[in-house]
Amino acid sequence: MKHASRKKWIIAACLAAGFVAASLADVPVYKAIDPTLASRERLDGAWWYLALRHSGTLLTWLLLGIGVLTLDRLRRRPADQPKDLPLRGPYIAVSAGTAGLAAELGKLIISRERPATIQTLESGVEALVYQGYQFRGLFAGFADGSNLGLPSSHAATAAGGAFALAMVWPRLWPLALGVSVGCGVSRLLTGAHFVSDVYAGIVLGWLVALWFGKGLLKPRPRPDTAGRGQGESPA
């Protein structure tokens, strides 16, 4: 028990240190990218950007989860293998959706605004104006939830789905990490988030995937085995 508790504290300390490091990179990375409304429009026309951004939407993981669930139900297994299947499809979709929802709730509680706002200049032209750290106060987001950034819900959704996918197929861990980071980078390029927003979202998605994986990845009886008593053999 002591070893497990110590391990959790070490992980928590490493995650906290990671957030501090990400926070130190917030301003330098934003200024290095120097996003504008024009650059946003260019990105909206790039297929790779759209792919990365949509990896942070629930619909992507919902469709994938439905596909995995359907294949699991239709697939025939050899007679000498167990016919119990974990809820892999629902696990992927639920993990992504819960991570995104948790991130949205976190935004309302923390209430830190996005790095920049769209403002109309004296010339009458709209521009993306950097504003740095702007905290409204804890829980202030419940009164006004607009333009909040910490944590990134896109990054959280992508990480929740991607890491759940890697829990199902461990060989996909590099892909899961790539999708999570890639989605976060797509949000940085538009100036929608700080690095720390993205980092917090990815960590949140990972934790949600681990949490739900403990329950939804346990084997469940398939429909064709339901109702059979113990010791009975198939007809």
CATH number at residue 42: 1.20.144
Q: Is residue 230 part of a domain?
A: no
Q: Which domain holds residue 215?
A: 2-222
Mean of pLDDT values over 117-130:
88
Q: How many domains does the chain have?
A: 1
Q: Is pTM, for the whole model, over 0.95? A: no
Higher pLDDT, 204 or 75: 204
CB atoms within 10 A of CB 201: 33
- How high is the pLDDT of residue 18? 97
Q: Is residue 229 part of a domain?
A: no
Mean of pLDDT values over 62-84:
76
- How high is the pLDDT of residue 78? 55
- How high is the pLDDT of residue 79? 55
Q: Is residue 228 part of a domain?
A: no
Confidence of residue 230 (pLDDT cuts 50, 70, 90): very low
CB atoms within 10 A of CB 33: 15
